Structure 1
Amino acid sequence: MADMTTVEIAPELWDELRILSQDAGLTINQFLENLVADYRRKLVVEDMVNKVQASSDQVMADYVAETQLWDRAVLN
């Protein structure tokens, strides 16, 4: 078993974590690992969205043209 540490949290939060993890059929540790992984994925998506929004019109036009080319290639 991996080394463990203690984290102090409010009893209400502990109860909620316990209930949610049980409902998911996971240990609290597994549930928290999933939460961290989901949060990291969310950060990656937000970063991609921010980069797309910050892109110039020409970069976006080039991207759209390239994806349309790939779409046509896949459909053929």
Structure 2
Amino acid sequence: MSLAMQRAARIGQNDIALAVGVDGSTVSRFMSDEKDMTRALTIIAALGLKVVPSEMQCFPPRKVQLLLELARDHLAQLENVEQLTWD
């Protein structure tokens, strides 16, 4: 609830209204009624979904970049398939 309210305040009700295709006053009423907002977020949770910031990723990009670099380096050293097996 807190994250949703913070983001709504940052984006602004008019921009939200434009994105949703409703009047700004509709968004204002919805956001000011804690029961409506709680109900909407509860439905999202019941669907097994989570509200997270859109810039979040399920992996640390720098770590993945390092892993890809190590994999490329190792694969560049391979000369045959047998080098991929070990006991």
| TM-score w.r.t. length of structure 2 | 0.29
Q: Which protein has the larger Cα radius of gyration, Structure 1 or Structure 2?
A: 2
More helix per residue: 1
Q: Which gives a bigger RCO, structure 1 or 2 (Cα 8 Å, sep 6+)? A: 2
